[in-house]
């Protein structure tokens, strides 16, 4: 734990809501619209925090606890992820198992909060969410474990610090495959196209958005902020693999924040150029991500 | 040791008292039995904890007039590790039973149930203590037979009787393998004494391998390895809930104990042993959870989930053995330690879940998840406790399930980073399966909790009521145990590492430096868990501050404009897991009967899905039909004439004599 690690934490907490803004702006540009302001998510959060909340009579305390626990879990996940070659605030061997566990906890409570409403739409979203993430989780673990073998270390901070250096020259194909797998996991876990469409207005086709239909006011603000943070931590993994260590803290941070913005633009590009996959195809995509990561592992086995 | 003998005496007294009071149709008998089991548990837990805390190994032997037998019991750390949760769970389930059986009192005599319950606890106490093969087999059989009578408590139902028979056959087939195992050991070492076996070891790899296989099948049948698990999903739902909790939480673990104990007899493990256990464990884990999520019967779901957890424990054992084979002490310690810890954790949260499921069944009269719903409002305690068990069993932080899965994942990760490549492959295989199992467990328990406790009641059932105090207290204690292990994780290595290093045959000096990192990691994880709780409380306070004084309100759930919502349009248990069951349909062989709505004014439509056990349908049923068919060929010998039977006996004797003096 060192003092410099607090800077990435502050960056995550303040800049995370900017990422959805960039994605949306990219999509708007592609569609020929001017689009919403970059800071739209911040405005939404402020507005929601000032509202009251209406609760369904079917719901119980689970419905109220879900968003709060989800936000707490993703806060802890932020603390575990290194950024800009700056080690995470809490780093220890096998910390990415805790990272995956925290994301799992967040998801579990989002899902049961959705089931708490008794709505068939939210049940549908919940059912899809648990299914897809059950397939995405092994892919994430295999990808990170492959990196762990490459870096001969079990802690995210050391792994990403090592990999982003000269490793790309020695083991380029391995890292490229892992990168693709992580990218697919990022899109799936953050309910982006091609797995989920955050824009649709038809509840039948949505996954994440439909689970939170009944939340409002501060609860919904927690959910929005939590989703932005989740996008930030997974994007930080991808960016952490690529951005090299320049040796200066400030330059590293600037490069990484730039990388995060660039990655958001890439996500926007994917969303603008692709259609959402049919739900029956999504498992194949996720298993494919796992298979890519496993292939990377096998490739990297003989060093 | 005196305390342990006194504990056994208390259990025998409990059994005798149950017989004496058995005729009465009042609930007194279960109170008396619970009190005596409680006394026995306290008496037994004291020495168990002393031994675990580093005290000397206790032993007691006295002659026993059984051929080859000796009443030789010994309490070492491995035995104590299994004895402690067994006794704790036995006492808690007995207390729960007092509340649970109250509605049964008056309908049927409870004496036999309490009698066999005490005997089961006695058997389960003796199994980890016995150091003589004959004593071990006797205790093992005592455990098997008494639990058979407990499973068939509600014997007037046909399904219960058939479940009982499946259990009895399965457990005795397992015992058959154990008999062969012990006889071969006796032939090899010339003794029935476990301490002699452990001291001598087996030095021919072929023989050791065969003995290992016998132990895997024999003990694996009790533990519930795939494909020997077939009795679990039958027997657990059939038994009264506190008995299912005890069987799932404690009895099947003794199969794991037997396997661990056998490993200490067999000398240095071959590499394939580790691989075999790893593969059995991972297959049981993945298939167990896939079958669990397809079940609609709450207790059947929990039974399959036990198969999954036993799979995780076995995979940990396999990783531990591989660590020994590849000379990686840290992998061994993490694998064996993870297996031991997961065993303890599983007895806590699975006990809790079965008891909570029992409260649901007790309150509503059904275990069918598709008929339940919205119980959290009527049963807030049971619901919250079930949720704690569900989060723990999914291996989610911050509860105890996460700690043991972290140890298992840590063993796999350590294996991934070492050479040779085979070890790395084993680690990766384990990690993928642990990830998949975790994800599917979240599906299963989101369904189990979400469908049963949340939403609106799907069908009118009996007016549900909260569990009584006698049922609530044991559940609260088990949930507290789950929380305590999670936040006290930093102290676990002190207790577990000595046992794990003994299993791996490692010298304590060699590993003490290596286990410092895992111990530190556990401490950090506990702190993270604490931080998570603090963050949650902080966010909750912020939310309260924000919402205070604002206008809120209550409304109906948003139905996308549909004006006449009803409880029947909710997602059901079947529909919730439909995507997963479709993905695994080649494996599950789920049967669905669909009656589509027809015509312009469709009146009637129905859909039923059911997932029978694959091995039961494809392997055992045809197999036993074949055996039946073969035996039927010999039916001509059975004529009903006594003279003929005497002739058979005489002929057999003559043939044997001729063979002897050949």
Residue B473: CB atoms within 10 A of its CB come to 15
pLDDT above 90 coverage of chain A, percent: 64
With beta carbons under 8 A apart, name residues in chain A contacting B570.
118-120, 123
B367 and B297 in contact (C-beta within 8 Å)? yes
Angle at B255 between CA B250 and CA B260, to 5 degrees: 115
Distance from CA of A262 to the nearest CA of B (A): 30
How large is the ipTM?
A: 0.95
Assign A1 a pLDDT band (cuts: 50, 70, 90). Answer: low
B580 and B609 in contact (C-beta within 8 Å)? no
Over residues A276-297, mean pLDDT:
92
The full length of chain A comes to 303
Chain B's closest residue to A299, CA to CA, is B421
Test mutation, B522, B539, B549, B578, chain A, max A CBs within 10 A: B539
Distance from CA of B432 to the nearest CA of A (A): 5
- Say what the pTM is: 0.94
Residue of B315, B345, B308 whose CA lies nearest to B440: B308
The answer to whether the Cβ–Cβ distance between B397 and A105 falls below 8 Å is: yes
In this complex, which of B397, B409, B550 lies closest to A94 when CB atoms are compared? B409
User: SS3 for A176?
Assistant: helix
In this complex, which of B517, B550, B555 lies closest to A57 when CB atoms are compared? B555
Assign A5 a pLDDT band (cuts: 50, 70, 90). Answer: confident
Test mutation, A1, A13, A55, A58, chain B, max B CBs within 10 A: A58
Residue B272 confidence (pLDDT): 95
Residue A198 confidence (pLDDT): 78
The answer to whether the Cβ–Cβ distance between A104 and B377 falls below 8 Å is: no
Q: How far is CA B69 from CA A27, A139, B63, in A?
A: 80, 54, 8
Give CA–CA dist B580/B570, Å, rounded: 19
Higher pLDDT, A249 or A230: A230
Q: How many CB pairs under 8 A join A and B?
A: 243
Test mutation, A126, A145, A284, chain B, max B CBs within 10 A: A145
Give the residue carrying structure tokens 């409680």.
B38
Element spanning B253, H or E: helix B252-263
Q: Return the biggest CA–CA distance within chain A.
A: 60
Q: Which residues contact B181 (CB under 8 A, 6 or more apart)?
A: B211, B214, B215, B218, B262
With beta carbons under 8 A apart, name residues in chain A contacting B532.
72-73, 76, 102
The answer to whether the Cβ–Cβ distance between B555 and A145 falls below 8 Å is: no
Task: Tell which phi-psi region holds residue A217, choosing left (phi > 0), alpha (psi between -120 and 50) or beta.
Answer: left
The answer to whether the Cβ–Cβ distance between B554 and A57 falls below 8 Å is: yes
Give the residue carrying structure tokens 């000269």.
A166
Give the residue carrying structure tokens 């059984």.
B66
Task: For residue range A165-206, list pLDDT tens digits in order.
Answer: 777 777 888 999 999 999 999 999 998 888 888 776 666 667
For each successive 10 residues of chain B (662 residues), what is the average pLDDT? 90 89 75 92 94 90 85 92 95 92 80 91 94 94 94 89 92 94 91 90 89 95 90 91 93 95 90 95 95 92 95 96 92 94 96 94 88 90 95 94 94 91 93 95 95 87 78 94 92 89 82 85 94 96 90 80 80 89 84 81 80 82 88 83 91 93 80
Residue A223 confidence (pLDDT): 95
Which residues are B592's β-sheet partners?
A: B609
In B22-141, at which residue ranges do the beta strands (DSSP E only) sit? 58-63, 70-75
Over residues A256-273, mean pLDDT:
94
In this complex, which of A75, A121, A130 lies closest to B443 when CB atoms are compared? A130
Residue B24 confidence (pLDDT): 65
Tell me: pLDDT of A2 over 70: no
In this complex, which of B434, B524, B583 lies closest to A92 when CB atoms are compared? B524
Q: Token pair for residue B451?
A: 């469908």
Residue B425: CB atoms within 10 A of its CB come to 16
Residue of B206, B144, B224, B209 whose CA lies nearest to B176: B144
Tell me: pLDDT of A237 over 60: yes
Test mutation, B395, B442, B519, chain A, max A CBs within 10 A: B442
Which residues in A69-88 are b (16+ Cβ under 10 Å) and which e? bbbbbbbbbbbbbbbbbbbb
The answer to whether the Cβ–Cβ distance between A121 and B440 falls below 8 Å is: no
Residue B23 confidence (pLDDT): 67
- Beta-strand pair B591-595/B606-610: antiparallel
Count how many Cα atoms sit within 13 Å of the Cα of residue B304 in the half-sphere of its side chain: 28
The answer to whether the Cβ–Cβ distance between B432 and A214 falls below 8 Å is: no
């Amino acid at each position: 734990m060192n003092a410099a690690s607090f800077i990435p934490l502050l960056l995550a907490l303040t800049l995370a809501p900017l990422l959805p803004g960039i994605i949306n702006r990219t999509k708007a540009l592609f569609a020929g619209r001017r689009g919403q302001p970059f800071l739209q998510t911040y405005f939404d959060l402020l507005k929601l925090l000032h509202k009251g909340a209406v609760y369904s009579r079917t719901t119980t305390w689970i419905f109220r606890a879900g968003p709060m626990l989800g936000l707490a879990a993703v806060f802890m996940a932020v603390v575990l992820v290194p950024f800009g070659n700056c080690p995470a605030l809490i780093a220890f061997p096998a910390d990415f198992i805790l990272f995956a566990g925290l994301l799992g906890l967040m998801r579990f409570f989002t899902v049961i909060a959705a089931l708490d409403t008794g709505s068939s739409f939210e049940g549908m979203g919940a059912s899809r969410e648990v299914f897809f993430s059950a397939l995405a989780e092994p892919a994430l673990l295999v990808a990170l474990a492959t990196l762990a073998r490459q870096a001969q270390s079990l802690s995210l901070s050391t792994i990403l610090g090592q990999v982003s250096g000269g490793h790309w020259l020695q083991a380029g194909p391995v890292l490229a495959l892992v990168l693709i797998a992580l990218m697919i996991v990022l899109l799936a876990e953050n309910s982006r196209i091609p797995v989920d469409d955050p824009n649709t207005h038809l509840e039948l086709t949505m996954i994440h958005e439909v689970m939170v239909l009944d939340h409002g006011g501060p609860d919904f603000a927690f959910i929005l902020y939590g989703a932005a943070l989740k996008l930030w931590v997974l994007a930080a993994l991808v960016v952490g693999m690529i951005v090299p260590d320049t040796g200066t803290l400030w330059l590293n941070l600037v490069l990484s924040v730039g990388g995060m913005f660039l990655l958001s633009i890439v996500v926007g590009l994917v969303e603008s150029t692709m259609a959402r996959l049919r739900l029956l195809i999504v498992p194949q995509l996720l298993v494919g991500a796992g298979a890519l990561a496993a292939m990377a592992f096998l490739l990297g086995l003989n060093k | 040791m005196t305390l342990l003998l006194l504990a056994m005496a208390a259990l025998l007294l409990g059994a005798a008292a149950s017989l004496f009071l058995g005729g009465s149709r009042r609930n007194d008998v279960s109170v008396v039995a619970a009190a005596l089991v409680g006394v026995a548990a306290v008496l037994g837990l004291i020495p168990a904890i002393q031994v675990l805390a580093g005290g000397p190994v206790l032993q007691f032997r006295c002659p026993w007039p059984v051929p080859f037998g000796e009443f030789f019991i010994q309490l070492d750390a491995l035995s104590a590790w299994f004895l402690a949760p067994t006794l704790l769970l036995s006492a808690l389930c007995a207390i729960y039973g007092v509340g649970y059986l109250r509605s049964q009192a008056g309908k049927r005599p409870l004496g036999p149930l309490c009698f066999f319950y005490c005997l089961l606890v006695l058997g389960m106490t003796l199994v980890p203590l016995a150091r003589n093969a004959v004593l071990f087999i006797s205790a093992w059989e005592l455990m098997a037979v008494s639990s058979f009578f407990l499973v068939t408590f509600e014997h007037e139902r046909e399904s219960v009787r058939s479940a009982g028979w499946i259990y009895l056959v399965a457990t005795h087939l397992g015992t058959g393998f154990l008999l062969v195992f012990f006889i071969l050991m006796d032939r090899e070492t010339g003794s029935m004494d476990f301490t002699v076996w452990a001291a001598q070891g087996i030095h021919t790899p072929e023989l050791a391998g065969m003995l290992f296989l016998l132990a895997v099948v024999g003990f694996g049948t009790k533990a519930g390895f795939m494909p020997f698990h077939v009795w679990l999903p039958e027997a657990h739902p059939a038994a009264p809930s506190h008995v299912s909790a005890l069987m799932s939480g404690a009895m099947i673990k003794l199969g794991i104990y037997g396997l661990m104990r056998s490993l200490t007899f067999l000398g240095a493990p071959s590499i394939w042993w580790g691989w075999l256990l790893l593969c059995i464990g991972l297959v049981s884990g993945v298939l167990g959870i896939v079958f669990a999520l397809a079940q609609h019967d709450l207790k059947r779901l929990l039974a399959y989930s036990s198969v999954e957890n036993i799979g995780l424990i076995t995979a940990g054992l396999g990783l531990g053995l591989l660590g020994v084979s590849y000379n990686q002490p840290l992998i061994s310690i993490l694998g064996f330690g993870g297996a031991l810890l997961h065993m303890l954790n599983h007895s806590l949260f699975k006990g809790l879940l079965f008891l909570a499921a029992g409260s649901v069944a007790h309150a509503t009269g059904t275990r069918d998840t598709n008929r339940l719903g919205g119980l959290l409002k009527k049963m807030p305690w049971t619901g919250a406790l079930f949720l704690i068990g569900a989060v723990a069993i999914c291996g989610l932080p911050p509860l105890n399930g996460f700690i043991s899965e972290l140890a298992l994942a840590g063993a796999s990760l350590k294996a991934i980073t070492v050479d040779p490549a085979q070890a790395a492959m084993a680690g990766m295989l384990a990690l993928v399966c642990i990830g998949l199992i975790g994800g599917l467990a979240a599906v299963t328990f989101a369904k189990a909790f979400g469908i049963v406790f949340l939403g609106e009641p799907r069908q009118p059932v009996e007016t549900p009521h909260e569990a009584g105090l006698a049922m609530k207290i044991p559940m609260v204690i088990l949930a507290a145990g789950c929380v305590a292990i999670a936040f006290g994780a930093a102290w676990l290595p002190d207790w577990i590492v000595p046992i794990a290093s003994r299993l791996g045959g490692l010298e304590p000096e060699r590993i003490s430096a290596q286990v410092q990192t895992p111990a530190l990691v556990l401490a950090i994880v506990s702190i993270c868990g604490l931080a998570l709780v603090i963050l949650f409380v902080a966010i909750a306070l912020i939310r309260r501050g924000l919402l205070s004084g604002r206008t809120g309100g209550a409304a109906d759930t948003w139905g996308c404009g549909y004006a006449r919502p009803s409880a029947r349009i909710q997602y059901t248990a079947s529909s919730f897991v439909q995507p997963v069951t479709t993905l695994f349909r080649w494996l599950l062989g789920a049967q669905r009967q669909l009656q589509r709505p027809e015509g312009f004014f469709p009146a009637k439509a129905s859909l039923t899905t059911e997932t029978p056990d694959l091995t039961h349908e494809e392997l055992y049923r045809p197999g036993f039909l074949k055996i039946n068919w073969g035996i039927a060929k010999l039916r001509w010998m059975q004529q009903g004439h006594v003279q003929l039977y005497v002739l058979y006996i005489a002929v057999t004797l003559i043939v044997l004599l001729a063979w002897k003096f050949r």
